[in-house]
Amino acid sequence: MEDYTLAGNDSIGKFIFEQSVAEPAPSALYDQHLQLAGKSHIVDFAGYLMPLWFTSISAEHEAVRQNAGLFDCTHMGILEISGPDAANFLNTVATNDIDNLEEGKAQYSYILDTAGNVLDDIIIYQLERQRYMVIVNAANEPKIKAWFDSLLKGKAVIDTEQPARKLGANPIIRDMRNTKSGGECSVDIALQGPKSLEIITGLLGDKSVLNKIEQLKSFHFIRAKVADVDCIVSRTGYTGAKIGYEFFVHPDKAGRLWEALLDAGKESGLLPCGLGVRDSLRIEAGLPLYGHELAGPFNISPFEAGYGWAVKLEKDFFIGKTAMKQNSETHNMQVVRIELPGEKGIRPVRQNDGILDKDSKCIGYVLSCAKAGEKQIALAYIRKNYTEENTPVGIYYPARNKKQLENGKKKSVETGDLLRADIEGKIISRFARF
């Protein structure tokens, strides 16, 4: 753990972490990407060189909704937590209840600092008794490693109300993407969209496995050989697709599995998908992205994001519980999904654009926005009393350059400002599945 500066947590329990900036590394599938995407579309994302798109964002979006898409998620951090204290540790550092898990089941959860700030949103997979796999966001991986490290070394106060409280758990934490870490190694590849199952079918040697994969419920997984590669097949994803899988595969076999899946999906309209469509799909589905709909400039909480169910306040204790309990009772802002016109020629709505109520008063801000067909779907952070479905809202575009500023556009907006709407839309259901 040389790649970060550990600053510990300060008196109010906020974990302060400064990540050092390193040269980007090629993703585990970089060679495959160079063959499929123009080099000019490959960008540095969370320290990895990954394609923004292969074909085009709109073609890839359409492919995932109609057929299927294949995603390089090998940049996602994967930590193994094991040993007799593993469950106890996870129940202390994560907000959801680990006791609801069993072997073959996965769970969405949050890691908070002692002050209740979201450090990351994660998925925990129970691999076996006393062994768990935790998927963390690529951009947050160094921070989470540092946080766990400071917890295990007893450097962080974990309860502001009882500063003497000790972690009392000493699990083994291992980076599963590191092939030299000893033990099972994994990286993540995702296949998402209605034709996902038919694409896998041809790659399974064993018919009984197909049956098991067909039967897999959301947030469940099995072990299987796909294209002769040992992997974990999990019914999870980040696209809002009702049918979609993630494969956890040894890093050295990732290229082989990627190529086999792409090949098997040719007839089904499968497209390789870049970072751009990953964003537009998750926005359309209403799924949060850390730094936008969680934490970020507004320090958005799980309750505000619409995920209060993943914060089990009835647990005796978890790090950040006091602050979460208070937030669950007092928060007055909420993340909503908004539908807007999006035909060509309509200016794209962007982060920090203002949301206006029917009286032209600014009631919040756009967090993310994407084009989905002829519409734009925005996720926005607004006052709670405006979140009912079908509530009409306006959008104000602040100036994006000097010329617009000279033409009278404001540089930024504040809630309470009276503004004239540039386009109009309405609140729609918080989530959508496809």
Binding site for other proteins (CB under 8 A): 38, 40, 52-53, 56-58, 276, 280, 342, 344-348, 350, 370-371, 400-404
CB 345 to other proteins: min, Å: 5
CB 38 to other proteins: min, Å: 7
CB 371 to other proteins: min, Å: 5
Residue 29 is encoded by which pair of tokens? Answer: 């599938």
CB 348 to other proteins: min, Å: 5
Q: Which amino acid is at 115?
A: A
Q: What is the dihedral of CA 286, 292, 294, 297, to 10 degrees?
A: -150
Residue number with CB closer to other proteins (280 or 327): 280
Residue number with CB closer to other proteins (52 or 324): 52
CB 313 to other proteins: min, Å: 38
Q: Name the nearest CA neighbour of 179 among 113, 244, 252.
A: 252
Instruction: Based on DSSP, count helices (H) and strands (E) in the chain, helices before strands.
Output: 11, 22
- The alpha helices in 73-154, defined as continuous H runs, are 86-93, 141-152
One DSSP character per residue, 144-192 reads HHHHHHHHHTT-S---SSSTT-------EEEETT-TTSSS---EEEEEE
CA atoms of 246 and 189, how far apart (whole Å) = 6
The angle formed by the CA atoms of residues 394, 352 and 281, to the nearest 5 degrees, is: 85
Residue number with CB closer to other proteins (207 or 344): 344
Residue number with CB closer to other proteins (52 or 106): 52
Task: Assess contact for 302 and 290: CB atoms under 8 A.
Answer: no
CB 424 to other proteins: min, Å: 17
For the sheet with 172-175, list strands across it. Answer: 106-112, 118-128, 131-136, 77-82, 172-175
Residue number with CB closer to other proteins (8 or 348): 348
Residue number with CB closer to other proteins (408 or 416): 408
Distances, alpha carbon 209 to alpha carbons 49, 125, 205, 337, 429, in Å: 34, 20, 8, 38, 36
CB 107 to other proteins: min, Å: 32
Residue number with CB closer to other proteins (172 or 399): 399
CB 239 to other proteins: min, Å: 16
CA atoms of 158 and 318, how far apart (whole Å) = 9
Please state, as a whole number, how many other Cβ atoms lie within 10 Å of the Cβ of residue 383. Answer: 16
